[in-house]
Structure 1
């Protein structure tokens, strides 16, 4: 997570974002994007979907005013990256010092900004002031040819990651069996098939659902609900249905349950099952979840958010959550491992900034038209 946390990611001319680069000055383990409906929250989240592809391609419908999007990254140069350009074993030429590293070592920790091109090439844009307070390339203009070389060797930690998305419009429904096709889509399609395969196929471990997933589910639901079993039943139309057993209610079809419960299961499938299917560590993912608060009781939402936060810290993965709820502000505004990105749309383009003060938080609540009664509700005082 450390490499990503030191990375600035911005974009311009992308959907609702205009000619002024907008985005993240840094990336925290938990990143809350908040704003009114249609302000640009989903656009900023989905930027990462494009960033993490092998080849960055923007279709014309993603352009702003018919201008192709541009992506800008900024991070601090590491010692090994600088040594790839200014080697200890190289000397002479117009580079001052006993060897090239003697001159180049001052760039370690200096911020470098580059444009990310469609094939992940890096185009040098700017380099900041070194830690010693100097700008060596201004003092030695003939060496500016090394700036692009530094950009070529700086690492982009996003290339190592996968993006998993939960959209605001989602559901979990009965599904037909698809053997060894375990794709889970952002709208929830594939979840039933994945769970029933783990329960019914002899080459997959049932324990992952019957014990492990059940344990994680109850961590969030307790003390309000205690699920005893997760099973799948074959319906008359040959589709599989997930059912949950609760001691006081018996078996309940998930398709007939509230969307809040489905949201929690959708999150757990992404965090718990998908990495197992893909044989990936959780630290290799960025999770983009939209509007988890929809039809979820504030007390349950707080427990789900706490679960997400603990997962981010313990497993070193990254979450980007969009919301227009006050619960996330209340829960994360004082956390050092989280940040709130506030998006406003002026009718022409969207702008975003990181919220850092109580006054700014209050301004968000006013802009979102969150009333005192909403705040009481979000804190579980009334429901």
Structure 2
């Protein structure tokens, strides 16, 4: 059976789009109350429940958490795809049974329910929980640390999204990136880092079949305030997942499938090449900030009262509107953008253009249309509300 066919039958269709909150997941968790062990690890700063799901009874204890940043929901959707796959046990029955016997997987689908509700990176107090590992000033940070110390996991999974600005030097988008966080300022390859590196290579090799050349390695600069660095420093192998952009997939419904495949590989459900070495981790290309959502190349605009042939980079701003995420295009850069790539590239052929019916353009400007000044039927960009 093709893995894509398997995934389609385990796709959790009750979670769609970028806006995923506690309200969306609680009914799903209720449906699993007789299948998995579901508990609460505490409450958020606003008093919202923080649920945790326990799957399996094996000796290898794995702790994962998603939506530490409230507006990063792709890995939450992938977790629920994984829950459905395990619960249905429709395919890979022997492998699932072995997983349940080998692993005990604890997962926190939404660590930051307040941020998820507001669709923000930070929590209700404006604190980035992934910079609160040292101070542990927030209830969510304390709850996670308490679980970490109580469970004494053999492996931690820090599940995130990354913006569409990240790409690789091969001119491809970084659809999935991983990181084995540093345990010290020297970025020493400690025993725990080695384990995390090996497991990342294992997942990377599995994903190369589906997104070749689109897997990156996140920056490993040490920050004691980051949870992954803190746990790695404690000697527990920790893996950072970063779900990124796939072509025309602004709702991240395609990317979630690759995180799901990564879970299958990590937990030995999907058999992969057994000959992987931690040193190959360093061969995974590093993430670069080299992409924009749209680049309109070589158009004439008025800058400082003078017509200039230049390029315009557009980046979408994610805005919560009426319970869903809208994408508002804004000018991100103007100039020579030869070192940047667009998820969508538009050639302007030196045409003089009107931006929102005006001749001038500036950084931060919200964009609705870019059309040719002398032929207004020639549209280079038009706001699309269907992203």
Query: What range describes the TM-score normalised by the shorter chain of this pair?
Result: under 0.3
Q: TM-score, normalised by structure 1?
A: 0.25
Q: Going by fraction, where is helix more abundant, 1 or 2?
A: 1
Q: TM-score, normalised by structure 2?
A: 0.25
RCO comparison, higher one (Cα < 8 Å, 6+) = 1
Q: Going by fraction, where is strand more abundant, 1 or 2?
A: 2
